[in-house]
Structure formats: structure tokens, C-alpha cells
Amino acid sequence: SQQGEEDPQALSIQEGENATMNCSYKTSINNLQWYRQNSGRGLVHLILIRSNEREKHSGRLRVTLDTSKKSSSLLITASRAADTASYFCATVKPPYFGNEKLTFGTGTRLTIIP
Amino acid sequence: ETGVTQSPTHLIKTRGQQVTLRCSSQSGHNTVSWYQQALGQGPQFIFQYYREEENGRGNFPPRFSGLQFPNYSSELNVNALELDDSALYLCASSPSGGGSGELFFGEGSRLTVL
């Protein structure tokens, strides 16, 4: 079963704009990760945020985590055509703390219009 | 590119047959995880192997089985194939028994069951 849901399911923006994707989950977690997948290929890890962290940055990526609302957001700034992909959040629930059993959401399909 | 290789990339089987999928982990990684991704869905955790021992299993029936070898490569075996087993099977490796968090995915094996 899917733990989380991404919102929106699909998003189209102009190149250069910022893209925001949201992830909601149901139970308490130890960490939350974001992955990117290009058109049916393998997933690429983007960023990991632990349950005691509220915000992390990596290049053009900014992730926030609100454990009280059981939600996370991924912001991609200054989007590029190469950012076109599906984005998934994945949670790790207790008793696991690393990557022993990731539970993925349903994904957001992001399209960047040149 | 992650250094995780999977074979075969595509295969077609008929209902009731058996299939073996193979995965070579990235150099230095001793943990391998397998995920099933149905079309339009997020990946679902099948199981994880750490140093040749199963280190967690998802909600999959016993006809899904696995192995990890001393060189940390891995196999996923599925017996008595059903139509719903049609999916992209993703292998991921990581450098420790889950503690690092990040998973490094291969490009997947796409299985079609007719």
C-alpha cells in the first residue's frame, strides 16, 4: 500500500519558474526522502530529511517537513527542461531509520515547458 | 549513473511461468533492496538483503523470493506468474545495512506477463 500521496498529480510550468510539490503521509516517520524518475527508468535520490529537521537545501532544491501536519514539500527553483520527470516522496517508518523499507507515494509528474 | 546493473532489461513471460531477475550492486555496497513498480504507481517494497540475509519484507506472497550472494549481487525469483506481476522491477543498493538512507537504483527490469 502507498503511505503517501503527492499533490498535485501533474504539474506543467514554464522554464525558469519555480515548481512546488507536496507530499502527505499517514503515520509517524523517521525520515522522508525525495526521488526523481525519468520516464520509466530508475529512480535518483534527491534529498533526505530526518524527522527532527524542518528544512534542507541542496542546490536548487528546498525540502520542508512538518511532522505535525504529516506533510513535506519539495521546491525546485529556476526550473529547467531537464527537470521534466516524475517526483516521488518516500517515508521510512519506525522501527526503521535508514532505508530498510521505503514506502513511496504516488508521484507528481512535472513537465517543464521550454 | 549509479553503478547498479540489472538484467534482463525487458522480458515477456506467460502466466504460470517462473522468472529470475538479476542485480549487481554498486561497488562497496552490501545491501540490496527490490521494489515493484506498476504502471503509473510508486514503487512498492518487496524485500531487502543485507550481507546475504533477508533484512525486511514487504506485503508480497511467498512466491516472491530472493537471494544475495557473497559478492552482494542479488536475484529476485517470482514463481507462478500472474498477470498483475507485470511491472518494472527495481533493484537498489546502499553501502550499509540501511543506516545511510539513500538508495542507489538500477534502471529496472520490465516484466510483461501475458
Residue A14 Cα, gap to closest chain B Cα (Å): 24
What separation in angstroms does the CA of B20 have from each of A44, A60, A74, B92?
24, 40, 36, 16
**Residue B98 to residues A83, A104, B16, Cα–Cα distance (Å):** 28, 16, 34
pLDDT of A19 reads 97
Query: What sections of chain A are H helices per DSSP?
Result: none
pLDDT in tens, A4-61: 688 899 999 999 999 999 999 999 999 999 999 998 789 999 999 999 999 999 999 9
pLDDT higher for B18 or A5?
Answer: B18
- For A:21-50, CB contacts with B below 8 A are 31, 33, 35, 40-45, 48
**What is the C-alpha separation between B44 and A26, in angstroms, rounded?**
16
Q: Residue B95: is its pLDDT beyond 80?
A: yes
A108 neighbors A86 (Cβ within 8 angstroms):
yes
Which residue reads 539513500 in cell numbers?
B102
Q: Does A17 touch chain B (CB under 8 A)?
A: no
**A100/B102 touch (CB, cutoff 8 Å), yes or no:** no
Say yes or no: A80 contacts chain B, CB-CB below 8 A: no
CA angle B2, B6, B10 (to 5 degrees): 130
pLDDT band at B97 (very low <50, low <70, confident <90, very high): low
User: Mapping DSSP to helix (H, G, I), strand (E, B) and coil, where does residue B84 land?
Assistant: helix
Which of B42, B44, B100 lies nearest to residue A99, judging by beta carbons? Answer: B100
Chain B within 8 Å of A108 (Cβ-Cβ)? no
